[in-house]
Amino acid sequence: MNTIARQPIIEVRDLCVGYKNRSVLRDLSFTCRSGEFISLLGPNGAGKTTLLRTLSRHLPPQAGDIRVQGRPLEQLSAMELARIMAVVLTEKIAPPLFTVFEFVAIGRYPHTDSLGRLAPKDRVAVTSALAAVHALDLADRPFANLSDGERQKVLMARALAQEPQILLLDEPTIHLDLKHRVEVMAILRDLCRSKGITVIASLHDVDVAAKVSDRVALIRDGGIMAWGPPETVLGGQAVTTLYEFDKAEFNRHLGGIELKSGGNRGRAFVVGGMGSGALVYRLLAKKDFAIATGVVHSNDLDCFVARSLGAECVAVGPMEKINGAALEQARMLLADCDLVVDSGFPVGPVNEANLALLQTALDCGKPMLCLRDGLPPGLAANGTHRPMFCADAGRLIENLEALVVPIHTQEV
Amino acid sequence: MTTSDLCLQETRPLLLRRAPLVFALLGCLSLVLMLLNVGIGSVPFSPAEIWQALGQTSEASTTGFIIWNIRIPRAIAAVFGGAYLAASGLLLQIYFKNPIVGPYILGISSGATLMVSFVMLTSVTVGWTLFTPFISTLAAFAGAYGVMLIVLAIANRVKGGVTLLIVGLMMGYLCGAVSAILTAFAEKDKIKGFVLWQLGSFSGFKWDEIWLLLAAGGAILVLLYLQSKPLNAFLLGEEYAASMGVDIRRFRFLILLCACALAGMVTSMAGPVAFIGMAVPHMARLSFGTSDNRILIPGACLMGGLVASLCDLIARTVMAPVELPLSAITAFFGAPIVISLLLKRRVKL
C-alpha cells in the first residue's frame, strides 16, 4: 500500500458549510489522500460535525465543491457513495433483537442483492470487518447488550463491512474508557496503514490526535485555522489559541497538556535538572504554587515541563556547563521564594553549580524539601535549620501539606 | 479468517431454523381458526353439512348461502384485515423509531373514520353508487393519508416519542369531534349503520370487497417484502440508512404510502380496529426473535391474521347471539400486552 503514490481521494475547494440560514464554516479548501489519518480538532460547536455531515452528504454544502475520487460528490449515486464512504455517527442506536453479526451484516447493504441476502463473500467481509476491530468474539452477542466500548467497535465494523475507501467518524472515542479509547485509535491507525482507508475523524484529545494523525485540521471561528501534519501545525501556541486555554498549555515535545498553577499558595523554587524536576513541578502546580526553577538545560525534560507550566525557568544551552550569569539569575529568583525544593538531581560536571544554589538556599534559611536521603557531599546545613529529607513523592506531599499553610497566611 | 468464517456459518442456521418453525406453527393455528370461524356461528351446522355446502354454490341451499356469503368472506376478511393492520403497524414503528405507535394510536384510523363518516352520513356521494364500495375505501385512504401528513408535519418539529403519541391522540379526538358533529346532523338510519361500523367488525364483507382487499393489499405486501432490505437499514436510523445507499426521500414516501393504504383500506371496510397494528408487531418480533424485516413482514402478517381471527371468533361466540364489538376484544388482549412490554422494558419510549 505504501509504495503506491497516494492519490487525492477527497478534494474540497472553497467549501462553505452550514444549515439553512446559518453559515458555520466558510472557504474551506483541503485535499485528503488515500491512507491518511485526518483529525478534525476544535472546541465544541466549532463545526467539526457539520463539516463531517457535509462530506458524507447528509447536509448539502452552501457553496464550493467536494470531489470524491475526482468526481463531484453530488453526482455520485447513493449506492456508489456507499461503496466509497462509510460513517460512524455519535447518535446512539439500539435496534432490538440483532446479534452483532446481523448488525454488521446490514453494512453489506451496497453489495448485497435486492433482498439483502448474504452471499459467501458477504459473510467473509462481515467476518473480516469484525476481525479488523478485534470483535470476532462478539459475533453472536445481542447488539443491545454491548458496552459502550464494544458498541463503538461494532459500529466501526459495520462501517468497514461497506468496504469503504473513506471512513468518517464523529467523535469516535467519546464516552469510552481508556482501554477502548486506545484500542479504537489503534484500530483506526491500522486501517489507514494496512487497508489504505482514509480516516477522517473529529477528536477531542489533542495529544492522541498528534500521535496518530497524518494531518490535522484546526477548526475555529468559522474556518480552518491551520491544516497540515501535526508535527508542524500543532504547536503549543496553536492549541492554546484553538481551545482558548487559559490555565493550560499543550507541549508538542511532551505530547501532552500541562495544567498551569494558579500560584496562590506562595512561590517555590525548584533546584532541578536532568529530568528530576518534571514530577515535582507538576506536583507543585497541582498544589497551586507559583514555580521558579533553575538552573536547567534548555533541552532538558525539566525545561519543557517547567515552561509549559508557566514557571520562571533559568536555562542554559544544551550540554553547556552552568555559568555564573545563570547562577546569579537563579539566586535572585530563589531569594524571592518562600520554599525551596531539591529535586534530587544527579550531579555531574555540567551542573555542579546547582549544588552552590542549594548551599545558598541552606544559608539563607528558607524552608527546604530535599528528595534525597541526605545532603550531597560538600554541602552543610546552616545551624539549627535543616532540610526535610523526603524518601519519595509521598513523603514530599506530606511535608508540603504540613509546611505550607503558615507561609500562605503570611503572604496574605 | 476462513476458519472463523466457517464457524460462523455453522452457527447461523440454528437461528434461522427458528423462523420456519414459528411460521409453521402460526400457519397451522391460522388455518384452524379460519376453519373454526367458518364452522361456528349463530346457526349451528354439523361438519358434514358444511362439507356438503362447500361443494355447492351459494344459491343451492340456506347452508350454502350462509357459508359462502357470510362466514367465508368474514373469515377471509379477518385474516387479511388483521394482517394488513399488523403490517401497517410494523411500518409505522420502523418509520417513527417508536415501538408504541400503530395506525390507531397515530390517528390514521381516525382520519379514515372521519372521511368514511362523510361518505356514510352525508349525501355528498349520492349518485356515485357505481363506485361503492370503492368510494368509502378511497375516502378512508384519503383520510388516513391526510392525518398522517399532519402528524408528520408536527413530528418533524417536535422530537420525542411521547409527543408523537400525544399528537396522534389529539388528531384522534379532533377527527372524532368532526364525526360526532356529522352524526348530530345525519339521518337516523344512516347513524345506526355508522355507529355499528365504528365499533369495528369483519362482518358484512361482500365478495367484491374481499377481492379488492386481496388484490390491492396483496400487491402492497409484495412491494413491502421487496423493500425489506432498506427497511432493515432504516432500523439504524435515517442517517445510517442514507450512508448505506438508501434513497431516503423516496423510501420514506413509499413506507408511509403503504402504511396508510393498508390501514385505510381495512378501516374503510371493517371500521377502526384498535391495538392489532400496535401489539402484533411486538408479538411477532418476540416470537421470531428477530428484527429482520424479511422475516417480520410475513411473520407479522401471519400473526395479525391469527390474532384478528381469534378476536373475531371470540367477539361472535362468547356472548352469542349478541356480537361484541371487535375493538373491545382487541383492546382486551392488546392493552395488557403493551403494558407488560413497557413494564419488562422490552420497549422504550
How high is the ipTM of this complex? 0.85
List per-residue pLDDT tens for chain A, 412 residues long: 444 557 899 999 999 999 988 899 999 999 999 999 999 999 998 999 999 999 999 999 999 999 999 999 999 999 999 999 999 999 888 788 889 999 999 999 999 998 889 999 999 999 999 999 999 999 999 998 899 999 999 999 999 999 999 999 999 998 899 999 999 999 999 999 999 999 999 998 898 999 999 999 999 999 999 999 999 999 888 999 999 988 888 988 888 888 988 888 889 999 999 999 999 999 999 988 999 998 999 999 999 999 999 899 999 999 889 988 999 999 999 999 989 999 999 998 888 889 999 988 888 888 889 998 888 888 887 776 788 888 888 999 988 888 755 544 444 4
Average pLDDT for B134-163 = 80
Does A3 map to a domain?
Answer: no
Q: Are residues A44 and A181 in the same domain?
A: yes
- For chain A, how many structural domains are there in total? 2
3-state SS class at B342: helix
Q: Is the dihedral of CA B204, B208, B209, B215 positive or negative?
A: positive
Q: Rg of chain B's alpha carbons, rounded to an integer?
A: 21
Q: What is the largest CA-CA distance in chain A?
A: 92
Q: Are residues A204 and A348 in the same domain?
A: no
Residue B269, φ and ψ in degrees, nearest 5: -95, -40
Using pLDDT thresholds of 50, 70 and 90, give the confidence band for residue B9: very low
Q: Are residues A238 and A305 in the same domain?
A: no
C-alpha grid cell for residue A60? 448539502
Q: Are residues A107 and A190 in the same domain?
A: yes
Of A102, A112, A139, the CB nearest to B292: A102
**Residues within 8 A of B (CB atoms), A 136-155 only:** 136, 139-140
CA distance A116 to chain B (A): 5
A54 contacts A17 by C-beta, under 8 angstroms: yes
Does A1 map to a domain?
Answer: no
CA distance A397 to chain B (A): 50
Q: Are residues A55 and A118 in the same domain?
A: yes
- The domain of A141 spans 8-251
* Contact (CB<8Å) A131/B4: yes
Does A80 map to a domain?
Answer: yes
Enter the pTM of the model.
0.85
Does A303 map to a domain?
Answer: yes
Q: What is residue A49's predicted lDDT score, i.e. its pLDDT? A: 94
Q: Are residues A225 and A335 in the same domain?
A: no
C-alpha span between A32 and A8 (Å, rounded): 6
Residue-range domains of chain B with CATH: 64-343 (1.10.3470.10)
Residue in this structure with the C-alpha cell 370503492, named with its chain if needed: B134
Quote the distance between the C-alpha of residue B25 and its chain's center: 21
C-alpha span between A150 and A175 (Å, rounded): 12
Q: Are residues A247 and A328 in the same domain?
A: no
CA distance B12 to chain A (A): 9
- End position of a domain, from candidates A251, A275, A305: A251
Torsion of CA A198, A200, A206, A209, to 10 degrees: -10
CA distance B263 to chain A (A): 25
HSE (CB half, 13 Å, CA atoms) of B227?
Answer: 27
- End position of a domain, from candidates A229, A251, A273: A251
Q: Is A106 on the interface with B (CB under 8 A)?
A: yes
Residues in chain B, how many?
349
B261 contacts B216 by C-beta, under 8 angstroms: yes
Closest alpha carbon within chain A to B227: A115
Q: Which residues of B touch A (CB under 8 A)?
A: 1-2, 4-5, 8-9, 11-12, 15, 226, 228-229, 232-233, 235-237, 239-240, 242-247, 285, 289-292, 294, 346-347
Q: Are residues A407 and A290 in the same domain?
A: yes
Does A33 map to a domain?
Answer: yes
Does A119 map to a domain?
Answer: yes
Residues in chain A, how many?
412
Choosing among B236, B283, B285, B346, which should be mutated to test the A contact, i.e. which has the most A CBs within 10 A? B236
* Contact (CB<8Å) B245/A81: yes
CATH number, domain containing residue A230 = 3.40.50.300
Q: Are residues A246 and A313 in the same domain?
A: no
Q: Are residues A380 and A277 in the same domain?
A: yes
Q: Are residues A274 and A246 in the same domain?
A: no
DSSP summary character for residue A322:
P
Does A232 map to a domain?
Answer: yes
Rounded to whole angstroms, what are the CA distances from B239 to A78, A294, B244? 12, 57, 9
- End position of a domain, from candidates A199, A229, A251: A251
CATH number, domain containing residue A340 = 3.40.50.720
Q: What is residue B262's predicted lDDT score, i.e. its pLDDT? A: 92
Does A2 map to a domain?
Answer: no
Q: What is residue A277's predicted lDDT score, i.e. its pLDDT? A: 92
Give chain A positions within 8 Å (CB) of B8.
101, 123, 127, 139
CB pairs under 8 A between A and B: 92
Q: Are residues A247 and A307 in the same domain?
A: no
Of B237, B290, B291, the CB nearest to A91: B237
